[in-house]
Amino acid sequence: MKLNPGQANAVKHISGPCLVLAGAGSGKTRVITLKIAHLVRQCGYQARHIAAVTFTNKAAREMKERVGQTLGRKEARGLIVSTFHTLGLTILKREVTTLGMKAGFTLFDDQDSRALISELTEKEYDGDKDQINLLLNQISRWKNDLILPPQAIKMAESGGEQILAMLYERYQRHLTAYNALDFDDLILLPTLLLKQNEQVRQRWRDRIRYLLVDEYQDTNTSQYELVKLLVGERARFTVVGDDDQSIYSWRGAQPKNLALLQQDFPSLEVVKLEQNYRSTGCILNAANILIANNDHIFDKRLFSELGYGERLRVLYAKDEEHEAERTVAELLSHKFMKRTSYKDYAILYRGNHQSRLIEKSLMTNRIPYKISGGTSFFSRAEIKDMMSYLRLLVNHDDDNAFLRIVNVPKREIGPATLEKLGNYANMRGISLFAASFELGLEQHLTGRGLASLQRFTRWMVELADFAEKGETIEAVRQLVRDINYEEYLYDSSPSPKAAEMRMKNVSELYRWITGMLEGDDLDEAMTLPEVVTRLTLRDMMERNEGDDESDQVQLMTLHSSKGLEFPYVFMIGMEEGLLPHQSSIDEENVDEERRLAYVGITRAQKELSFIVCRERRQFGESFRPEPSRFLYELPQDDLIWEGKTQKSKEEKKKTGMAHLAAMKAMLNKDK
DNA sequence: TCGAAAGACTTTTTT
DNA sequence: AGTCTTTCGA
């Protein structure tokens, strides 16, 4: 397949900074892939001097695969394709000594961070969730803006801010004590390091000589800073982005980084990709008209040459149960008529909880499905337990992990023992694990408690020694055997069937771990500390080879659908309050919700259906939501509202108003 | 110390 | 409504 002029431009421009404004379905992954191939084959770059950065693991995997196909395994060797966070982790891992950190640090996921904050603020907040969230968000914002605790304290303008900044400092001190990092540190620390240390900066600029960034509109301040530091004055990089698909501002993403690029790099070459190769004209037109209601940094107009296609449908359901049943029924009859496969269908929704009823309905109809995204696997108790064991094995100072599993399965180390241990550790300013070995502890803790505790910590130390001698896989195996987790599961689960499920999850995790420790032809073998941090990053999920073969309906949130495409798409829950979500309406941030709808619509290749519930239950209360305003903003001629041949007065008024708003938006844009 | 039962709280999105 | 937490009784 040939490149269109825009794509060719984007691939060939390699001498300086390059921004590719890539509309949905305009073939940007192809551009990135071919550009990497071009760099290697025509421009004399070694693959190991090129890095491509994405935001999700899924995208990274896919890109790795695509490059592997284009270039071949050998030529692609050493190429860095990873998420921003994994790149940060890679840098940190190489520079641990420069940073003065102990190797084998623990990565805290957001639950760990929340637990820590909640513990640290017990006096101030007493477990108040709102306040804890506020603090967590503030800390995240500080870190994303490269502000460390001392600066935060200095900058505080009110007493309230002062307190938050002090708590930030306390949080950071405790992280250090646990030898732990949080997600934001994976960007913050490398950025600061590169900023301050000339030598390290040179090292990485030499390593990464050409940088490509996908989904650039999702970068936050510290990520952009990291990009700038990595590329230096030579500015050999390509970033690809689309401001209409910016759906992560709540996480600090700054779509204005697209515009900043032009200021920071005056020689920036801007390439627009406006031909869509994915969707029918009807779907694309709907998407274009919807998004015209938003403001734009760059103007673009997507077009398709795939023909008009089928009109979009709006289906009604009585309530959310009926919604699930209808969606599945529609899917089934469609599949039957068109002789398609299950994997040609995607069901998209706003919030993870919406998947449950759909799942149920699919299950009763014996339809194979796959839910991607969602935290389910790693938030399962048994997985959290096993991960805590591994974390503690790698980093004895990880108190969070320690507390989680010290008495799971039961080891006669109860709350009383732990409280005394905690007090002592606190007093001495050391970790719980370290405290268990101190002689001074005997004054506070005696007899059985102390004996059980030390039996546990000694066992852990022995196991860690064993692992460090290189017998990692054997050590992990022994750990699972020693704790006799299976028996514990059967004892603690409500039913043998549940225990079996849980044990299956544990085995799955075990397989992943051993697989990562051994490595394969695509990925190098990793050390245990690496494996543990990578697992926390959720980096590795579906490495099941048979995945492409398996024929399953795809279920996912609108957020995690970004970057994917499906022939037939159902968007469920198209109601005010859900999409746009109520909290976004309250915060007057409907634009982002509109982009979310835009992302959903542009996933569809051939046909698209919306489902609206007439009635919905929330917290047991039922209410009657309005259809989403976005449905009224779409071009009504391309839309079939189920069961309505004639528009009612109400609706005419609404669509009229929506069109008026769209026209106004377009007029404003021209000014 | 453990399991059942009542009670609280939930639903925005993710590395 | 469903899930996670806390509490109370054995």
Following DSSP, what letter does each residue of A35-60 receive, concatenated? HHHHHHHTS---GGGEEEEESSHHHH
Chain position carrying tokens 């976004």: A584
pLDDT at A671: 33
Is residue A436 a contact partner of residue A421, using CB atoms and an 8 Å limit?
yes
Q: How far is the CA of A487 from the C1' of C9 (A)?
A: 27
pLDDT digits (tens, 9 = 90+) for A303-326: 999 999 999 999 999 888 899 999
| Residue A26 is assigned to a ligand binding site | yes
The nucleotides of chain C lying under 7 Å from a protein CB are: 1-3
Q: CA–C1' span, A619 to B7, in Å? A: 15
**Which residues on adjacent β-strands are paired with residue A20?**
A240, A271
Average pLDDT over all residues of chain A: 86
A101-152 residue pLDDT tens: 877 888 888 888 888 887 777 777 776 777 888 888 889 999 999 999 999 9
Q: Tell me, what's the pLDDT at A32?
A: 94
For residue A343, what pLDDT is reported?
Answer: 92
Annotate A294-345 with DSSP letters as a single string. S--SS----EE-S---PPEEEEEESSHHHHHHHHHHHHHHHHHHHT--GGGE
pLDDT tens-digit map of A186-210: 999 999 999 999 999 999 999 999 9
Tell me which H or E stretch contains A27.
Answer: none
What SS3 class is residue A584?
A: helix
The segments of chain A whose pLDDT lies below 70 read 1, 127, 373-376, 492-498, 521-522, 539-549, 644-671
Q: Which amino acid is at A496?
A: P
> Measured between alpha carbons, how far is A108 from A131 in angstroms, rounded to an integer?
20
Distance in angstroms, CA of A195 to C1' of B8?
Answer: 48
Do residues A445 and A420 lie in contact, with contact meaning Cβ atoms separated by under 8 Å? yes
Alpha-carbon torsion (A610, A612, A617, A618), positive or negative:
positive
d(CA A343, CA A369): 8
pLDDT of residue A310: 92
Q: Is A23 annotated as a binding residue?
A: yes
A530 is catalytic: no
Q: Rounded to an integer, what distance in angstroms lies between the CA atom of residue A93 and that of residue A85?
A: 12
What pLDDT is recorded for position A645? 53
* Cβ–Cβ under 8 Å, residues A425 and A435: yes
Contact present, A230 and A223 (Cβ < 8 Å): no
Query: Does residue A654 contact residue A326 with C-beta atoms inside 8 Å?
Result: no
Residue pair A432/A425 in contact (Cβ under 8 Å)? The answer is yes
The DSSP annotation for A158-207 comes to SHHHHHHHHHHHHHHHHHHHTTEEETTHHHHHHHHHHHH-HHHHHHHHHH
Q: Are strands A180-182 and A106-108 parallel, antiparallel or unpaired?
A: parallel
| CA of residue A568 relative to chain centroid, distance | 24
CA nearest A384: which of A103, A115, A85, A56?
A: A115
Could you identify the residue whose CA is nearest to the C1' atom of nucleotide C1?
A620
- Predicted confidence (pLDDT) per residue in A448-492, tens digit: 788 888 999 999 999 999 988 878 889 999 988 888 888 877 776
Token readout for A591 is 């634009």
Shortest CA–C1' contact from A539: which nucleotide?
B15
